[in-house]
Amino acid sequence: MRLSPDELIFWQYGFIKLNATIVYTWGLMLIMVVSSKIITSKLSTGLERSRWQNILEIIVTSILEQIEDIGLDQPKKYLGFLGTLFLFIGMANLCIIIPGYEPPTGSLSTTAALALCVFVAVPLFGIEEQGVGNYLKTYTEPTIIMLPFNIISELSRTLALAIRLFGNIMSGSMIVAILLTITPFIFPIVMTVLGLLVGTVQAYIFSVLATVYIAAATREHKHGPKTGAKEG
């Protein structure tokens, strides 16, 4: 049995290969972009609007509110990155109800890629907000002694992000697959439902953590929260 969809390779030319992770990601991207395009092409600005527009509005405004609640003053600026993180992960995890589908988030490559994005984005946003000097100074807070620990924290939390998401989704898929061989009826469905819940929670956790990191990087450092310590 496969541990990750990376192992299902449709096409390979040298080190370039087209495995299930990339293909399903493309599929998800296609669905998301096309449906967004279709729905937003006929947006109404009046009080009457379609239910699809309503759903999208609710989703987008909820994400905005969440970002703002966590402590970012200009949520619209980070909406593209953080919103897409949540939507992509959530979408990938919810699609497990489609038979034959394998979530791209169940591949450590994908989660590592997302974690790398966060790892890069946090210092970028931080520098943009308060300059290189100020941002670099945050690693010496509260004292210079903390510098190596801060750097370790930065790396470890990125690793944690990747492994957490991968472990949850992969385990879910594995349980369903194992149960299918033991009790092909009922229990796989229950586990799939549990997988939906876990997937949604993981999507939320991933994006919220990314938001918190960015918020910590962009904020003034009088009382910068080091949330990485309590992640498990």
Shortest CB 85 distance to other proteins, Å: 8
Q: Angle between the 84-94 and 108-137 helix axes, to the nearest 10 degrees? A: 160
Minimum CB distance to other proteins smaller for 9 or for 70:
9
C-alpha gyration radius of the chain: 20
Minimum distance from CB of 86 to other proteins (Å)?
A: 11
Q: Which residues of the chain form contacts with other proteins (CB under 8 A)?
A: 3-4, 6-7, 15-17, 19, 21-22, 25-26, 29, 32-33, 36-37, 40, 43-47, 49, 53, 56-57, 60-61, 76, 79-81, 83-84, 87-88, 104, 107-110, 112-114, 116-117, 166
Q: Where are the alpha helices (DSSP H) in the chain?
A: 20-41, 51-70, 75-78, 84-94, 108-137, 147-182, 187-218
**What is the residue-wise DSSP string for 54-80?**
HHHHHHHHHHHHHHHHHT-S-HHHHII
In the bound complex, what is the minimum distance in angstroms from residue 65's beta carbon to other proteins?
A: 12
Smallest separation, CB 204 to other proteins (Å): 18
